[in-house]
Structure 1
């Protein structure tokens, strides 16, 4: 990992971001390709999906829509220990997601005038689960459970067909879907799956969805951008990111292990340590080098840690660390600080904040109860992670009686005339000049 010394410098937000640039080149290259793939699926449907499966997944002649028996077989074959962990994760995520559904609120504006703020679930959701360098049954839970809690009645799930599974989706992903009662499942991957959800595929009885959610690679994130406006999407979750803010009291092994854990995802993963302790920085670099050599995906981890998107950043003090973190707006933020709980209030821009030595990102990935589908690429400045609210639409229901309308009659007419929209005012006057609608 590179070491970047920002001590003694007063930097703008742009200068801080330039110090540790994200891996943007691959995302830019993916945009045009993903848009073309989505357009091809829209035009050619199943034919396009099969061509993509052969090209990208090395699979032919597979069942794109998964038969129910495949799901039942996967659930039956689940190792008890894995099933217990999945069920515990489901329970915890369901509990946390229930807190994300706002109650309806009725506001009385005046006598006879009421506005009800209610939250309506979308009708149909398409969930995408990656299936490339790793297997993600946890992502099934993180996407499906919040949608169910929100009240979504139709949930379709897609994941790439696997050549080593005879063209089926990975059985652990199928099993997780089965445990959650998802029955509409498709073996299709990447940008093509996002296009299929957005436009539908009549040959497969796949109807368009209202919202697409789920993590994925740069092509999946770019495909979401291509279908934005056609369907709703969650944030464009690209390559994973971890930023750790630590002081001299932090345990170098914990910090290094957590950096390596996220670098394991992808060669483009970002792993950043921000600290005001030069001694800690040096100790972490030694530990990272040791752990990266020993871990199973050593080559992938090393590529991510050696990339320009990963670094150890030295800053003057806690305030400078908070300023850097808030400018960077990481997907995952860990605080390894002597007063981590109190300090958390200063760190406002992150997909999720993990506080203290015993709250690693790995906990959030599986069994914290929080959601691990989070905004990357700095989107945490303005976008939330996935939750029940992703599948809800706030809606206002307005009710005025005649007396309540009469109190604002004059004001509405005045404003309508000011805006040169007299028919707006005439619509109000009609209710008073013609008190009996049958005689209007």
Structure 2
């Protein structure tokens, strides 16, 4: 076991060494008022300032040997700065439990802040009463500070700023309420009813797909890493497929567009995710990115947008979950959600859309080029059986189960699944032999996008 100092993050193997170190590590106080503030911080962490950590024996020995030198060499130059206060408060946040808030609303706010924190500063300060007000709320949200910590920062600022009128909110609670009432493009999620199952109504929380595209295209350096046309790349006489705009699909899709139009390749990511350690709460996010962006740039957080949270149907027991009625309802809910999300693309299928890229208006035709998911979800997208024991288990092709692992299989022996041959097998009542689960919306969407 070891003891953690809340000021400098050092660990000590004995309580006595920790107490001696704490006398040196505590920042010096110049006046009684500053002492009161430090005592207030220490009082908040008093019950939790000692963190019991299980460590390896070698780490304990290392701490024992270094304790004396750490105490003797401790510098008295560590003044209490605002950044140090932030570090202390962050430790408090890690120890204390957050207030019980709606888990879905928290994730919506956190996901937008994470997507924008790395590359560009969110342009939200203009909607705040002052720039300092916005900076404070951005700091509290980004570092997930609790209300007590935020209020301590406000008190510290107001005391030393010597301003007639403080630009900050009276409390963090007031600031959070102000944020809840703000109308920000990146935080406007619509709530749409998808279906009713077992007297429970299920909703889709989603953004506008077009707004998500515009948000990505508005990033300052995206145009520098954005491919507008197909590019044939060869290396040592062989074709190299390194980016989406070097693929055969891009070449064929580009040929189908009117003269002067550009292809806008869209990528969807989706996967159901646990949002608590016990696995009892789940969300099903679906993200959007643009395939025209170079791979290395597209892998950064700000090059993706949270498009929606898909509804997750609940069953009363395991028997209901395994029933065919429940499985059909799950597929229906999933594809109704997709139909709503992709509806803007269907409307643009004829005339395309004009979008700004690097202050230039470009005529785009958006097309879904790739969907990234795990195997069960891919089967849900393609309306195929999820079991690996079915005759044709692959959601992408019609290779039989016995030949799926054949390394010598020729390309001519692989028949891809398309909405054309799947519709044909359905009409011939061959759904089971070809591991096909029918849902009519699926065929309508596929027919429009191919």
Q: When the two structures are superposed, what TM-score results if normalisation uses the length of structure 1?
A: 0.23
- Larger CA Rg, structure 1 vs 2: 2
Q: Relative contact order, CA 8 A, sep 6+: which one is greater?
A: 1
Q: When the two structures are superposed, what TM-score results if normalisation uses the length of structure 2?
A: 0.22
